[in-house]
Chain A
Amino acid sequence: KNQVEQSPQSLIILEGKNCTLQCNYTVSPFSNLRWYKQDTGRGPVSLTIMTFSENTKSNGRYTATLDADTKQSSLHITASQLSDSASYICVVSANNNNDMRFGAGTRLTVKP
């Protein structure tokens, strides 16, 4: 069973609209949670990284939240653009750096 579950699996929105992607995890002990954006056939690019004590982290139009008690995170995208079309991957790390658990990603499509 994957220890990082993302929802929805895919999402289609109109340009200019907002959306929220979800990530639930059971990885323990928790070290940090990262959101990556991955264009098709390319390597993931880091958007945010949050440790246990951080509740929210913003990067431009991207805002990530973390509830370490419920083991949930969200990535909110405001005023979506066509270039936001990509897969968004949630990655949770345990205390040792090589234990990075990847979610399967949410495939976002932004249409004009």
Chain B
Amino acid sequence: ETGVTQSPTHLIKTRGQQVTLRCSSQSGHNTVSWYQQALGQGPQFIFQYYREEENGRGNFPPRFSGLQFPNYSSELNVNALELDDSALYLCASSPGQGAASFGPGTRLLVL
């Protein structure tokens, strides 16, 4: 167990819907990063939050947005879901420059 938790563990949505995924970071970690991992692929960086501010973004459209709260927990929001958004969404927390600890992921299926 890494101390990073994610919810829900899995969910099913339909095209066009919106989804919110949640992540609680490991104690003492002020940086949260989100990744999308398609089946059989390595994780792709979505964005990172450091002390409630976005601190870098990967090649994902604006319908992927996020938040970080004062307790360093975080949300990933995806609007106007597309079939290709089906993936495992991973949250990783880290103490700034330190090694990242990953959560168990949320499996999203878009029908």
B78 at the interface (CB under 8 A from A): no
- CA A104 – CA B43 in complex, angstroms? 8
Interface size on B, residues (CB 8 A): 29
List of B residues within 8 angstroms of A96 by Cβ:
56
- CA A82 – CA B92 in complex, angstroms? 27
- CA A2 – CA B43 in complex, angstroms? 12
- CA A98 – CA B34 in complex, angstroms? 10
Pick from B14-22, B62-70, B94-102 the stretch touching chain A: B94-102
List of A residues within 8 angstroms of B103 by Cβ:
43
Scoring B residues 79 to 111 as 1 if CB is less than 8 Å from chain A, else 0, what string do you get? 000000000101010101101111111010000
A49 lies within 8 A of B99 (CB): yes
B102 lies within 8 A of A36 (CB): yes
Distance in Å: Cβ of B67 to nearest Cβ of chain A: 17
Give the interface residue-count category, chain A: 20 to 34
CB contact list, A29-72 vs B, under 8 A: 31-32, 34, 36, 41-46, 49
Distance in Å: Cβ of A28 to nearest Cβ of chain B: 17
Number of A-B contacts (CB under 8 A): 59
- CA A105 – CA B35 in complex, angstroms? 15
Q: A49-B99, A97-B94 are in contact. Are A43 and B104 (CB under 8 A)?
A: yes
Known: A41-B107, A45-B102, A97-B96. 11 other contacts (CB 8 A): A4-B42, A32-B99, A41-B105, A43-B6, A43-B105, A44-B43, A46-B99, A89-B43, A98-B55, A99-B56, A104-B41
The interface of chain B, by Cβ under 8 A from chain A, is 2, 4, 6, 31, 33, 35, 40-45, 48, 55-56, 88, 90, 92, 94, 96-97, 99-105, 107
Show 27 residue pairs from A and B whose CB-CB distance is below 8 angstroms, ordered by the A residue: A4-B42, A36-B102, A41-B88, A41-B107, A42-B104, A43-B2, A43-B103, A43-B105, A44-B90, A44-B102, A45-B2, A46-B99, A46-B101, A96-B56, A97-B48, A98-B33, A98-B48, A98-B55, A98-B56, A100-B33, A100-B45, A102-B43, A102-B45, A104-B40, A104-B41, A104-B42, A107-B40
